[in-house]
């Protein structure tokens, strides 16, 4: 059966994925490289990023211009230095604000510390705001950019209130930024990855980290006329969701609509055909699918 390779939809684009040393960011970085992007891998240390760099290089068939850019986002000066290095390397077309921390579980409000909240806001909000402020102007000058701020579906969890509040701040910031960026070619979106078994999500999470794809790439691959400020739920696009439906329709909010028609498997393997309506096309390779002839 004929198979479909990566679409290379991001050929010529450069992406900074914060927190790509492990977890969700690592998977996103690898997927972006597979689609042709040059990737700036980020984590607190060079050593922590080595495994991702190897995966990114392998995903792009040995391409050698990916770069590791370590920076501790808890330190304001390191955030600025990260932005300086990205700028010196030609800037980023895609800013994937994925890195975040979660403070320890606090049973009662009196157990919360100011440090829980300030560290959550420094890494999860202030660093995001500064990277946007530093890197978006060049995107605007090029009339093209995709900014993805990773949020969370966390609800009714006062024990993690500082973390939850930082994600609420990201939601508000993204909405405001989307308004500012209207018509500029720079589209800012939010991604809720779902609850995944990463270091942060823990072993009780229901979802395999791999299920963040292909959904995590949908806000990167938006057509130029898509609205800003949308929330994408990665689990809506997970393979299990699609394969559970013989005809699955996946709608994103706003006027962006992606219609997936999942046809019946045509061979003993789980091959399927996925056809997407304009304005956006998702590479079939995200689903490891073969086309139906
Ligand atoms: N996992 C879930 O169930 C879940 C659910 C909802 C939302 N999310 C969101 O998804 C995103 C990724 O989560 P994840 O589960 O992949 O987390 P993770 O496995 O804990 O990975 C966190 C990443 O962020 C980096 N990071 C942490 N603190 C940093 C700092 N001070 N400076 C620089 N980098 C730092 C880590 O780099 P180092 O290697 O240097 O530590 C690592 O690459 C986060 O925004 C999280 O809030 C996750």
Instruction: Indicate whether residue 200 lines ligand 1 (CB < 6 A).
Output: yes
pTM for the structure as a whole = 0.87
Whether 16 contacts 135, CB under 8 Å: yes
* 163 classed as catalytic: yes
CA 190 to ligand 1 centroid distance, Å: 15
Instruction: Indicate whether residue 193 lines ligand 1 (CB < 6 A).
Output: yes
Whether 187 contacts 133, CB under 8 Å: no
Instruction: Indicate whether residue 209 lines ligand 1 (CB < 6 A).
Output: no
Question: How many angstroms separate the most distant Cα atoms in the chain?
Answer: 63
Instruction: Indicate whether residue 23 lines ligand 1 (CB < 6 A).
Output: yes
How much is the average pLDDT of 112-124?
Answer: 98
Phi, psi of 85, deg, nearest 5? -65, -40
Nearest CA, atom 1, ligand 1:
201
CA 49 to ligand 1 centroid distance, Å: 13
CA 277 to ligand 1 centroid distance, Å: 33
Query: Is CATH 3.40.50.720 the right assignment for the domain spanning 14-239?
Result: yes
Task: Write out pLDDT tens, residues 141-190.
Answer: 999 999 999 999 999 999 999 999 999 999 999 999 999 999 999 999 99
Q: Centre a 10 Å sphere on the Cβ of residue 280 and count the other Cβ atoms it contains.
A: 18
Angle at 201 between CA 154 and CA 253, to 5 degrees: 45
CA 27 to ligand 1 centroid distance, Å: 12
Ligand 1, atom nearest to 70 Cα = 33
Nearest CA, atom 43, ligand 1:
19
Nearest CA, atom 42, ligand 1:
19
Instruction: Indicate whether residue 101 lines ligand 1 (CB < 6 A).
Output: yes
pLDDT at 283: 41
Q: Which residue has the tokens 């490289």?
A: 33
Instruction: Indicate whether residue 196 lines ligand 1 (CB < 6 A).
Output: yes
- CA–chain centroid gap for 263, Å, is 28
Phi, psi of 256, deg, nearest 5? -85, 125
Ligand 1, atom nearest to 195 Cα = 3
pLDDT mean across residues, the chain: 85
CA 268 to ligand 1 centroid distance, Å: 38
Task: Write out pLDDT tens, residues 18-65.
Answer: 999 999 999 999 999 999 999 999 999 999 999 999 999 999 999 999
Q: Does a cis peptide bond (omega within 30 degrees of 0) precede residue 234? A: no
Task: Write out pLDDT tens, residues 211-264.
Answer: 999 999 999 999 999 999 999 999 999 865 555 543 333 433 222 324 332 322
Q: In the chain, what are the domain boundaries?
A: 14-239
pLDDT at 6: 64
């Amino acid at each position: 059966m004929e198979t479909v390779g990566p679409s290379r939809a991001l050929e010529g684009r450069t992406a900074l994925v914060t927190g790509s040393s492990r977890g969700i960011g690592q998977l996103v970085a690898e997927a972006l490289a597979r689609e042709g992007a040059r990737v700036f891998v980020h984590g607190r240390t060079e050593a922590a990023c080595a495994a991702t760099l190897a995966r990114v290089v392998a995903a792009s068939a040995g391409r050698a211009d990916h770069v590791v850019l370590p920076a501790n986002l808890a330190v304001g000066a390191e955030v600025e230095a990260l932005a300086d290095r990205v700028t010196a390397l030609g800037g980023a077309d895609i800013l994937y604000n994925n890195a975040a921390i979660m403070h320890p579980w606090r049973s009662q409000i009196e157990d919360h510390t100011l440090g829980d909240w300030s560290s959550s806001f420094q890494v999860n909000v202030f660093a995001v705001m500064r990277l946007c402020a530093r890197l978006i102007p060049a995107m605007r000058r090029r009339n093209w950019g995709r900014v993805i701020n990773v949020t969370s579906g966390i609800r009714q969890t006062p024990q993690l209130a500082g973390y939850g509040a930082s994600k609420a701040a990201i939601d508000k910031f993204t909405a405001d930024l989307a308004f500012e960026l209207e018509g500029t070619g720079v589209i800012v979106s939010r991604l809720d990855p779902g609850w995944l078994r990463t270091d942060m999500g823990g072993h009780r999470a229901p979802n395999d980290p791999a299920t963040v794809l292909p959904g995590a790439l949908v806000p990167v691959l938006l057509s130029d006329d898509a609205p800003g400020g949308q929330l994408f739920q990665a689990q809506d696009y997970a393979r299990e969701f699609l394969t559970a439906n013989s005809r699955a329709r996946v709608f994103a909010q706003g006027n962006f609509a992606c219609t997936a028609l999942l046809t019946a498997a045509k061979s003993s393997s789980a091959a399927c055909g996925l056809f997407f309506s304009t304005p956006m096309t998702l590479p079939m390779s995200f689903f490891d699918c073969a086309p139906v002839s």
